[in-house]
Amino acid sequence: MPITIASYGPDVARAKKYVYLSGAAYCFDIPAWTCPYCEKAKSFGYEFDSQIVNKEANTLAFIAVNKELKEIVVSYRGTLNVANVVHDIHPSVVSIEAGSSALERGKKSKGPEIWVHTGMINATNSLYPEVVEKLGKVLKENEDFDVVVIGHSLGASAASLTLFLLKEGHGLPKDFPKPKSYAYFGYGTPRIGNQAYADYWNAQEMQITRVVNKADFAAYTPQALGGYVHNGNELWLGPNGEEKVCSKEVYEDLSCANSMAALSNVHDHLQYWDVHFLSCAGADPVATVLENN
């Protein structure tokens, strides 16, 4: 379907930098800031600030700050345990306009009804209040900084939904500091919501980069037949190592990741450039999932 995309991106250089901060979210003892991807992030000037964990939901995020670049990065961990899988496969959706919705804004939107995947917003909400608290504190200490929200897999979904909630002012105290700008970088992002949700992001004049590696299975889920659709600004890492900036005139460019949908696989989901997302958590992904349930 044709679409006009107002958001900026993809930004290849920044995507290659933030992928290390995204990989660090899977490591253990992140506050020590000594894991391989933590060290790489440190080489770019990022220092650990705080960690947000919900033990019941088995979700995690952390905040890092780069004083020189005036950036605050909120990085969400993706699927690592059975509890996360439950979020991933949750069958229902939730509407923004529904009064009981976790995304209730207290008003009707001007356009079509927006709905999103229930499991993804549940995972987001498990961390959101503490993210708001700790992000607000960092912003008060670092005025006029940019906020970049990133993630891989389920973490990419949570990053997108967190940014939506922040921009809509959901659950923010009256004195919550306004950053200089917001940006989003997602790796292996699943489809999060319907066309109206995609339209919301396509209309935002901000940096949005959605990276898909080869035939990463997550990029094709949930199915488009269920009404789900990606927003634009896709950066596709093709099978021959090419880095393709995809069309900004359609929702999902058929010549990019969707050209390999029939070959979708888990391997392409677990490695982006030189970052192996589960390498910090353990060599055996299955054992890692069971140990962290």
Residue 215 in any domain: the answer is: yes
- H or E, element range at 24: helix 12-24
User: Is residue 67 included in any domain, yes or no?
Assistant: yes
Pairing relation of β-strands 47-54 and 59-66? antiparallel
Is residue 2 situated within a structural domain? no
- How crowded is residue 25: how many other Cβ atoms within 10 Å of its Cβ? 25
Predicted confidence at residue 4, as pLDDT, reads: 82
- Indicate the pTM of the whole model: 0.89
Number of domains in the chain: 1
Peptide bond into 10 cis (omega under 30): yes
Task: Tell me if 87 is assigned to some domain.
Answer: yes
Q: 55: exposed, middle or buried (C-beta count within 10 Å: 0-12, 13-18, 19+)? A: exposed
Residue 88 lies in a domain: yes
pLDDT confidence band for 236 (50 / 70 / 90)? very high
CATH code (residue 131): 3.40.50.1820
pLDDT attached to residue 206: 96
Render pLDDT for 182-203 as a digit per residue (tens, 0 to 9): 999 999 999 999 999 999 999 9
Higher-pLDDT residue of 117, 286: 117
CB 152 within 8 A of CB 277: yes
Q: Is position 6 within any domain? A: no
Residue 121 is part of which domain span?
A: 12-291
Within a domain: 127: yes
Answer for the pair 167, 201: CB distance below 8 angstroms, yes or no.
no
pLDDT at res. 102:
38
Q: Dihedrals φ, ψ of 121, to 5°?
A: -75, -30
254 belongs to a structural domain: yes
